[in-house]
Amino acid sequence: MDEVHIRTRRDHASEIAEDYVEAIAEFVAVKGSCRSVDLAECFAVTPATVNNTVARLVRNGLVITAPYQPIGLTSKGRKLALKCKERHEVVNAFLIAIGVDAGTAAADSEGIEHHISKTTLAAMKKILADGWPAISIAIEKQNE
């Protein structure tokens, strides 16, 4: 059991980092640059919190910025952002595929994405690409 919870804790430590790089990449892509005020609005936190968090991400080598300047990603940050974006989109699409409404899917995928392993992500992608796996319950029920 331990290893499981150790991973969960590790996942959590990187959740905010992942959310930030994903958002920064998005703002840069959509409006050309990313500012503190954008992230504050996006995450519903104060500018002070953004400043604090961005400083940590700079220390971690994910983000580059300078005082009163826009916020950008390092190549490491861009790489992470890309991975997260893809994973996020897969989870979102998958939730919709299993019948969850778009609004709920968007909300849930935001929380879920950070806890999806490579294996589970692959399983979701496979289903999105190839359809459902071998039929079990439904047909068995029908055949009873």
Q: Which residues bind a second copy (CB under 8 A)?
A: 1-8, 11-12, 15, 19, 41-44, 95, 97-101, 104-108, 110-112, 114-117, 119-120, 123-124, 126-139, 141-143
Nearer to a second copy, 75 or 104 (CB): 104
Contact 90, 31 (CB under 8 A): no
CA atoms within 13 A on the CB side of 2: 0
Q: Which of 27, 53, 87, 94 binds DNA (CB under 7 A)?
A: 53
Paired tokens of 107: 């909300």
Nearer to DNA, 16 or 97 (CB): 16
Contact 126, 119 (CB under 8 A): no
Paired tokens of 88: 């996020």
Distance (Å, rounded) from C-alpha 100 to C-alpha 112? 14
Kindly indicate which of the ranges 50-58, 75-83, 98-106, 135-143 contains the residues binding DNA, using the contact rule CB under 7 A.
Answer: 50-58
- Give the residues lining the site for DNA (CB under 7 A): 9, 13, 15-17, 35-37, 40, 43-54, 56, 65-70
